[in-house]
Amino acid sequence: MLPARKQIHLVDYDYSNTDAVYFVTICTYNKKAYFKNPEIAQYIENEIDHRSRVVQEVTVYAYCIMPDHLHLLLKLNEGYGKSLANWVAAFKRYNARVLSMMRDIKPLWQPNYYEHVVRKDESLKTIAEYIAHNPVRKNLVSQWQDYSFAKINHDAFQ
């Protein structure tokens, strides 16, 4: 018999809450460094931008596309009407399908994702800076601004 899978999401929490901000981490399958390829990382970045600016499903405060995982600080927008799990599943499914066709990457993502519901007493800017500094902590660059795939959306804080 397999061991019980650890619960990584809050029980009885409304993950469709549009007032909540989430710190989300999505890992590549077996932590493969797919996003080390700038074209693939750029594709993921374009998809984040499309879902936040064009389709307006989410407001993205910050993100960082590391070689083997993705960090997002986001909130669901009013009109989206679905849960965080629905959004992450759709994001992962679409990117997996496209990159499977474009690059023969199968599978792209690990099952599931990690999320932290940002508490009211936590600073969004501090979390955004933490996310953006990930490449510095991993010694990929000396300043986060030099990393092509780390962004803080200052307009979202207004």
At 118, is the secondary structure helix, strand, or coil? coil
The CATH code of the domain that includes 32 is 3.30.70.1290
Domain extent at residue 36: 22-157
**What does each C-alpha distance from 111 to 34, 36, 72, 93, 125 come to in angstroms?**
16, 20, 17, 11, 29
For residue 149, being part of any structural domain is answered with yes
98 φ, ψ to 5°? -65, -45
Residue 3 has pLDDT above 80, yes or no: no
In a domain, 15, yes or no: no
Task: Give the CA radius of gyration of the chain.
Answer: 15
Higher pLDDT pick, 3 / 84: 84
Number of domains in the chain: 1
At 41-73, the pLDDT tens digits run 999 999 999 999 999 999 999 999 999 999 999
d(CA 108, CA 100): 8
Structure tokens at 20: 């909540």
Residue 118 lies in a domain: yes
The model's pTM: 0.92
Each as own residue / partner, the long-range contacts of residues 75-81 (CB below 8 Å, 24 or more positions apart, any chain) are: 75/18, 75/19, 75/20, 75/21, 75/22, 76/16, 76/17, 76/18, 76/20, 77/18, 78/18, 80/18, 81/16
Within a domain: 120: yes
The answer to whether residue 124 scores a pLDDT higher than 60 is yes
Residue 115 domain-assigned (yes or no):
yes
